[in-house]
Structure 1
């Protein structure tokens, strides 16, 4: 079910009053700094230099590998057999996505050798290992909180771009990337991820743990900012668009 776009915030996912929206709203500038980072703004305007995007694509491939590992950990942490099945399917989907990602990179002039042999950056290491650490140290809710900003954040990024009055509509070189996250399939997946956080918040004491969950949610948003920023840094660009 897509998020209700008639609500006060058409960018938000999940239920009004649910744990995901409460965390998103409480994270404030951390969340906004992630979902409307200068990297994102330049994607929208079609002005992002190719080297910045290529750097991002390579590190995103490496990120996906660890994202699959984190989803595999969610199988172990799953609260029910159905949750374990769902997470096992997600692991396979992400592993399949790595192959598609390599094909997508090739469209941007990046060979498989380039993508697979370039090492992880400090930003990629910091983010992915932090997610795994939260999953190992906590329960399924802790792990899902560390993961969900990535899943839902990219869907919100797409919504922000689509609503941007300065967006380059015709001839944007990054239109295929934008459409992949703005499409119904990804948007529905993001809504389901937000609703899962809402449900886990009820079943796993989210209200009593709100302060610690917010710290992790905000940290993930800041790590996402760093993930965007490394692309701009690689291209020798300042943080402002």
Structure 2
């Protein structure tokens, strides 16, 4: 599993926060099947709403991009979110009697509101790199979690969730996003970005978005 060279640096800078996110009790419950179904459904409904805003953030990235290559990569990610990842949410919730209209109209939890608006604000108040640093923990963290759980998970009712994020389509998206970030960083900060004055701010954006991911898992467990 390799999502480029920038992501490992941001991940390492996040320290214990990254482990709290990717090794959260919610994630462990997905792997061994002990996660209560009510918690999973609460999370899934909120994650659908999250992905609506996340798609808007990636669409905003198209307007922040400086090259056609960046624009195309961001537009492709919007497509992957709307037409691939959200399908899991719609199909799983439909089996539980929750329609897509009900998903779209769901009231946002405070943790969802905090996270999505943080990401959108990073894009509106900052530039393309600020937005990438805020978006990366979700995209690449789910890829990392999915790949790890696919190797370690046993018989679990959440196998479809794991398969979505461990699957070739999602892992391909992660590699493309990692390459997009690497190119954007090199273009704007040069070959040694960690020595650029902006680097610490980008690491801080990544770490804050990771903290908000931790809160998002906790929201599911609180159901």
Q: TM-score, normalised by structure 1?
A: 0.84
Equivalence for 1:123: 111
Q: CA deviation at 1:72?
A: 1.1
SS in 1 for 2:40: helix
| Aligned partner (choices 75, 97, 121) of residue 133 of structure 1 | 121
Q: Does the aligned pair in 2 maintain the 1:43–1:174 contact within 8 Å? A: yes
Among candidates 139, 157, 162, match of residue 178 of structure 1: 162
| 2:43 paired with 1:56 | yes
Structure 2 residue aligned with 1:238: none
> Structure 2 residue aligned with 1:187, among 171, 175, 187?
171
Shift of the alpha carbon at 1:189?
Answer: 1.4
Q: Does 1:221 align with 2:210?
A: yes
Q: Using a 3 Å threshold, how does the CA distance of structure 1 residues 116 and 92 change in structure 2: closer, same or farther?
A: same
Find the partner of 1:27 among 14, 30, 49: 14
What is the Cα deviation at residue 156 of structure 1? 0.7
The answer to whether the aligner puts 1:230 opposite 2:214 as a matched pair is no
Number of residue pairs the alignment of both structures matches: 217
Question: Is 1:161 aligned with 2:155?
Answer: no
* Cross-structure match for 1:104: 92
Partner of 1:9: none
Q: TM-score, normalised by structure 2?
A: 0.90
- CA displacement at 1:118 relative to structure 2: 2.4
For structure 2, the 5+ residue unaligned runs are none
**Pairwise CA distance, 1:113:** 4.6
Distance in 1 between residues matched to 2:115 and 2:81, nearest whole Å? 17
- Structure 1, unaligned stretches of length 5 or more? 4-12, 235-241
SS for the counterpart of 2:66 is coil
Provide the alpha-carbon RMSD of the alignment: 1.7
